[in-house]
Amino acid sequence: MALTQDFTDTLKDMMGSWPMDTAAMEDAWKTSAGFSEKASAIALDAAGKTTEISVGWTMETLDRMGDLSKAKPAPVDYAQAMADFASSQVQSLSDHMAAYGDVAKSVQTSAFELLMAVGKDMADDVTATAAASVKATEKAAEKATTTATTAAKRPTAAAKKAAAEPATPPAPAAPES
């Protein structure tokens, strides 16, 4: 029987050897999961509402079909029943399409609000990251400046040698002819 190799330890070792901030990955995962949950709630709510509309419309139509299928005493009554059915279906169509439109408008509004909230959260995250980067850059610049200043104050080997030797006056310049 063939055994499937377990790569769990191998993947843990491999991922552990990469220098990566797992907290940032976990935060991104949580943010994505939260967004997905909210978006799914909007979609499922819309699906429930449209299903209710469809079921109600179907029930109304079936009730009207029952009235239409009843025996009538005269042929004219069948024509009148058919006209009444058609008229009520047109009215029902208008009402149910308006209800579908209301659901669509509600979904659009909810989705827009969700996207705006996500955009604001992302902007806040970018601002926080930029501020942290600025602080880190300032610290690095201060450290580099301190190091450079300290290094500049230290005498170099050539300066130490020059200080140890007695000063010799410069040679006189040769006269020009």
pLDDT for 31: 86
Give the model confidence (pLDDT) of 126-144 as tens digits: 888 888 888 888 888 888 8
The whole-model pTM stands at 0.60
**Position with higher pLDDT, 168 vs 132:** 132
The pLDDT mean for the chain works out to 85
Residue 176 confidence class, pLDDT cut points 50, 70, 90: low
Single-letter residue type at 92 = S
Q: Which two tokens stand for residue 140?
A: 């690095």
Residue 64: exposure state from Cβ atoms within 10 A (0-12, 13-18, ≥19): middle
